[in-house]
Amino acid sequence: MSRIPLAVVTGGAGFIGSHTVDALIAAGFRVCVLDNFSTGKRSNLAQHANSDRLDIVTCDVAHGIFAALAPITAQHGPVERIVHLAAQVSVVASVANPLVDMQINYGGTLHVLEYARAQGVKKVAFASSAAVYGDVVEMPVREDTPRQPVSPYGIDKLASEFALDYYASVHGVPTTALRFFNVYGPRQDPTSPYSGVISIFADRAKAGRGLTIFGDGSQTRDFVYVGDVVRAIVAALGDGNSRLIANVGTGSEITVLELARTVVDLCGRKSTIEHAPARSGEILKSRARVDRLSEKLGVVAETRLVDGLRATLS
């Protein structure tokens, strides 16, 4: 039986998931992706088509993962680590259908944790979100800032964090929750109206089409490059941290207007920048405090926005 450590990546065919798979295979893991392909794409993993280190199993994590993983573990031995990224990713969809969001996002986490408890998994790293904070006035946002989520999506991410803590303290499952800020980079899908703003701006600017800013563009975000996010995930999978919750951002912010201008400049096309009414319920400012990320996980999100944008546009 193989001695290569086995890591499971739920949502591994998605944007952040597929980059995580790349990093784990490069780090010497065997990887099993569980994905229901609702938003994930096989093409995101095409670079591993000839690898014997990757298994891809079509599976709805919210319906349980024991059966999906049984043939994999029979062949390769027990699962050592799990990165849980599979989720319903739209905040707006969660408002429209909170029960579905709860079933997928909170229910999915419980299925992963039950598996980890039963199988003695050594670490579960979970994709939480800045959405757990809700509307925060004081910037940068610290991890111990009172959580006041303003969407079912944020509530379910926060509930998942509580579940992680419960399984760690009561059942001894080591867990880490990473609160992602605005993640961007190659493979982010620009096709939904609620796709990440950088993926939309990049897609339109490359085609010389106009960019639309919602509101006056003075709202700020902490945009963190996917490569840096993946370094945080890989660090979280290591031993030596449990019950840890850490922001994953850069610690700096940029206005959406400045972002739009930068993307247009980098593309060298003549895209116009237009304004549309602000999105309702939108937060004005967002910036992570990142000391914990560097102190506990040794990770600094160091990709400069301009470099990350170049990689995204190429």
Catalytic residues: 153
The CA-CA-CA angle for residues 302, 150, 128, to 5°, reads 40
Binding to ligand UD2 by residue 282, rule CB under 6 A? yes
Residues 152-191 binding ligand UD2 (CB under 6 A) are 182-183
CB 163 within 8 A of CB 108: no
DSSP assignment of 207-227 equals: TTPPEEEESSS--EE-EEEHH
Token output for 189:
């899908």
In the set 30, 53, 111, 221, which binds ligand UD2 (CB under 6 A)? 221
Token output for 120:
């003695």
In the set 187, 214, 258, 266, which binds ligand UD2 (CB under 6 A)? 214
CB of 13 or CB of 158, closer to ligand UD2: 158
CB 220 within 8 A of CB 193: no
Binding to ligand UD2 by residue 39, rule CB under 6 A? no
CB of 70 or CB of 306, closer to ligand UD2: 306
Per CB under 6 A, which region of 238-246, 263-271, 277-285, 287-295 contacts ligand UD2? Answer: 277-285
Binding to ligand UD2 by residue 40, rule CB under 6 A? no
**183 sits in which H/E element:** strand 182-184
DSSP assignment of 246-271 equals: EEES-S--EEHHHHHHHHHHHHTS--
Per CB under 6 A, which region of 112-120, 129-137, 236-244, 288-296 contacts ligand UD2? Answer: 129-137
Report how far residue 242's alpha carbon sits from residue 2's, in angstroms, rounded to the nearest whole number.
27
Using CB under 6 A, list all residues that contact ligand UD2: 91, 129-131, 182-183, 194, 196-197, 200, 212-214, 219, 221, 256, 279, 282-283
